[in-house]
A = this chain, B = another copy of it.
Amino acid sequence: MSKLEGKVLVAQGGGPTHVINQSVVGVALEARKFTQVTAVYGAVHGVRGIIDEEFVDLTRETTHNLELVADTPSSGLLSTRDKPDVEYCARMFKVMQAHGIRYFFYVGGNDSSDTVRIVNDQAKAADYELRAIHIPKTIDNDLVENDHCPGYGSAARYVAQAFGGVNLDNRALKGVYIGVVMGRHAGFLTAASALARKYVDDGPHLVYLPERAFDTDRFLADVDRVFSKHGCCTIAVSEGIGDKGGNPVITKLMGEERDAHGNVQLSGTGALGDLLSDAVKKGLGLKRVRSDTFGYLQRSFLGCRSDRDAREAREVGEKAVQFAMWDNVDGSVVIRRPVLDYGVDYELVPLERVAGKTRHMPDEFINEEGNGVTQAFHAYCRPLLGSGLPEAHRIRAPRVPKLLGK
């Protein structure tokens, strides 16, 4: 049990998810139970809010409103893309010291886990006693050590429901449809499109992931084959697809806008979808080719979330506090799945085992042709989407025999 008396600080980093507020609320409600915790602060705009001394006092917030916020997507405490260096950390400790903050919980992806690692290392170097815990979240599902990440299930559900709809749309008015899905290095979110399939001829018929080199000629041959068979072709493409040399397809097109973590802008533009559409129009001579870039809709759409994802996001927040208080250690909370169908366990692992690393789709989840997913992926992903997934139904009425035509 930690005897360290002081305040808890919770913050959110990186891109929002549908359920990230669950984790903050999990931290706040659990931390309020421990007598060594003198207050629970929330940093506004992540680590940037620490530098700027922008805190809200979550001990002066009602449980009811916290529960309402937990059910709201996106980062209720607001977020940042700032990545602290040594000097940045020094300023953070000065603020933390002034406010008596001794427990730091940071909810975020692999960039944020690296931030926690740096803060933790710097705290040790500065001899500032601090418990620092990284709480996982990312719609990309690309944190190592985790079976899956909070935020993924809900975004995956959005992608599955979206493809469930566009598959019907593209059957009704036949053409080629390309949906561009988030996922810089990992294809998990794009792969979730396959969960939309119900009937054997349902789309997406082709799924392209960043884990496999994208080749335009092979892509066109795939589309041609599917279109010849079904009279339409629905395609899911990850925004992060790259060529054999590992260069993102989209960088050939655009100026290279990079964020503080050195990441190129992939979302918030329709460029990749339009490029692929043009390739199909020109390469195959098909006329009705449409592309949508799912962009920010997939990570914050109000009213689409996985109940299982929401519960787990709450639990990782709760567990983070329990690890810090009962075990008095730093680390990163990870989700294991010891029960295949279906249950989870939470563990705390050293920060350096998660920080800054990227998990990719394992080979067994990707089909041999590199243009689809396997049954193993279906079994992995389906429980994460949660309960009550809407289903599409078809008219099964028999055909009427033709009287005139052949």
Q: Interface of A with B (CB < 8 Å)?
A: 12, 15-16, 41-42, 52-58, 60-61, 65-66, 68-69, 71-81, 94-95, 98-99, 161-162, 164-166, 168-173, 177, 196, 257, 267-271, 273-274, 277, 287, 289-297, 299-304, 389-400, 402-405
Q: Which residues of B contact A77 (CB under 8 A)?
A: 395
Q: Which residues of B contact A394 (CB under 8 A)?
A: 69, 72, 76
User: Given A69-B395, A274-B269, A395-B56, are A300 and B41 also a contact pair (CB < 8 Å)?
Assistant: no
**Which residue on B lies nearest to A395, using beta carbons?**
B76
CA distance A242 to B133 in the complex (A): 52
CA distance A94 to B402 in the complex (A): 12
CB–CB A396/B65 < 8 A: yes
CB–CB B168/A404 < 8 A: no
Q: Which residues of B contact A404 (CB under 8 A)?
A: 53, 94-95, 98
Query: Contact partner of A162 among B291, B302, B395, CB < 8 A?
Result: B302
User: Given A42-B395, A400-B41, are A274 and B267 also a contact pair (CB < 8 Å)?
Assistant: no
A317 to chain B, nearest CB (A): 14
User: Given A169-B16, A172-B74, are A56 and B268 also a contact pair (CB < 8 Å)?
Assistant: no
Q: Which residues of B contact A296 (CB under 8 A)?
A: 165-166, 169-170, 177, 290, 292
User: Given A161-B303, A168-B73, are A173 and B290 also a contact pair (CB < 8 Å)?
Assistant: no
**Which residue on B lies nearest to A25, using beta carbons?**
B395
Instruction: Supply 10 further A-B pairs (C-beta < 8 A) apart from A72-B393, A268-B291, A269-B274.
Output: A53-B402, A54-B399, A65-B393, A74-B165, A76-B394, A78-B171, A165-B296, A169-B299, A170-B296, A269-B290
User: Given A60-B398, A400-B56, are A71 and B393 also a contact pair (CB < 8 Å)?
Assistant: yes
CB–CB A79/B398 < 8 A: no
CB–CB B292/A164 < 8 A: no
Q: Which residues of B contact A391 (CB under 8 A)?
A: 72
List 9 A-B pairs, Cβ < 8 Å: A56-B395, A71-B393, A73-B392, A81-B173, A165-B297, A268-B291, A269-B274, A292-B297, A302-B390
Q: Which residues of B contact A291 (CB under 8 A)?
A: 268-270, 295
Interface centre among A79, A296, A391, A398 (most CB of B within 10 A): A296
CB–CB B169/A52 < 8 A: no
CB–CB B57/A400 < 8 A: yes
User: Given A173-B15, A393-B71, are A297 and B294 also a contact pair (CB < 8 Å)?
Assistant: yes
